[in-house]
Amino acid sequence: MNNEAAMLRLMDFLEQNEHKPSEAQLTEFFQAHPVCKPLWEEMELVMEPLSESRVPEPTDQMDTKFFESLTQWEQEEAKPTWQDRLQSWWKAQQSFKLGWGWFLAALVIGIWIGGGFSPSEPASDNEMASLQSEVQDLREMMALSLLQQPAATQRLQAVNISQQLTTVDQEVIMALVETLQSDPNTNVRLATIDALVAFADHPEAREGLVQSIAFQESPMVLLELADAMVRLREGSAKELLLKAAEQQHFDGEFKEQVREKVEFIM
């Protein structure tokens, strides 16, 4: 059985088990079709970072943005056969309510097969770099889409995905800054601070952290921002932090905490 046939057989197996096969079903399937096991292991590697929280169901907005990017990518590829087939497969799976995590895993395996990789033949450095770049682009796309979702758990997942990016572009940074300034959920804002601090080498991320101080009404978020400014040695944040701390609904103890942190900013 070649890689393409193995992939199709694995997809059929997942569909028959509603994409949630038990350990016993997997064991029986791999005993009968051992060539499918490496594909499943690759899917698990991609799925692992996404398994902590629920992924959103596909929406019209997500589909439109994804397929616009996918179409542009396909036009640049020399051999788009597998990508075309996988896009058609994804549309067909919407009736099964297939989550983004499964689709990302399937697409990575599709690229792996379409690029000519095989379990017995290690990929070249160029092939691996290309695959890593595609995964990076998909993670960025997923993060941007999840940040627009109504559930706080989905937006938290977006922030977590952004922290897995090896490089980050301005669109992702600005989306994180907007989240820090306007998200109604305190936990989402706190997580976003960590993400932006990790990207502080980018001027947009650093400036976004500083400017976001004026948007905060939560003492927890302001204290976390103050700590971030201490770590980043961002002197331009001193006056903004002191001004934010003087809001009338903050008590004297909190204001003193902010003043103490500001003293440590270089």
% of the chain exceeding 70 in pLDDT: 62
Residue type, 109: I
Residues 6+ apart with CB under 8 A from 176: 147, 159, 162, 192, 195, 196, 199, 205, 208
120 and 185, same domain (yes or no): no
Q: What is the pTM of this model?
A: 0.60
84 and 125, same domain (yes or no): yes
Alpha helices in 58-146 (DSSP H): 60-76, 81-92, 100-114, 125-146
Distance, CA of 135 to CA of 139 (rounded, Å): 6
Q: 154, 180, 210 — which closes off a domain?
A: 154
Q: 97, 123, 154 — which closes off a domain?
A: 154
Confidence (pLDDT) at 78: 44
Tell which wins on pLDDT, 107 or 129.
129
Distance, CA of 84 to CA of 259 (rounded, Å): 58
| Residue 259 forms part of a structural domain | yes
65 and 137, same domain (yes or no): yes
Confidence (pLDDT) at 108: 54
H helices, E strands: number in the chain: 14, 0
12 and 48, same domain (yes or no): yes
| Residue 53 forms part of a structural domain | yes
Confidence (pLDDT) at 98: 41
10 and 103, same domain (yes or no): yes
Return phi, psi of residue 142, to 5°: -65, -40
116 and 67, same domain (yes or no): yes
Q: Does the pLDDT of residue 87 top 50, yes or no? A: no
53 and 88, same domain (yes or no): yes
Specify the CATH number for the domain of residue 258: 1.25.10.10
Confidence (pLDDT) at 5: 67
Q: How many residues does the chain have?
A: 266
| Residue 211 forms part of a structural domain | yes
Q: Does the pLDDT of residue 79 top 50, yes or no? A: no
Q: Does the pLDDT of residue 181 top 90, yes or no? A: yes
Confidence (pLDDT) at 92: 46
Domain encompassing residue 234: 168-266
149 and 183, same domain (yes or no): no
Environment class of 139 (CB within 10 Å of its CB; exposed 0-12, middle 13-18, buried 19+): buried
216 and 87, same domain (yes or no): no
Confidence (pLDDT) at 7: 67
Q: What is the mean pLDDT of residues 221-248?
A: 92
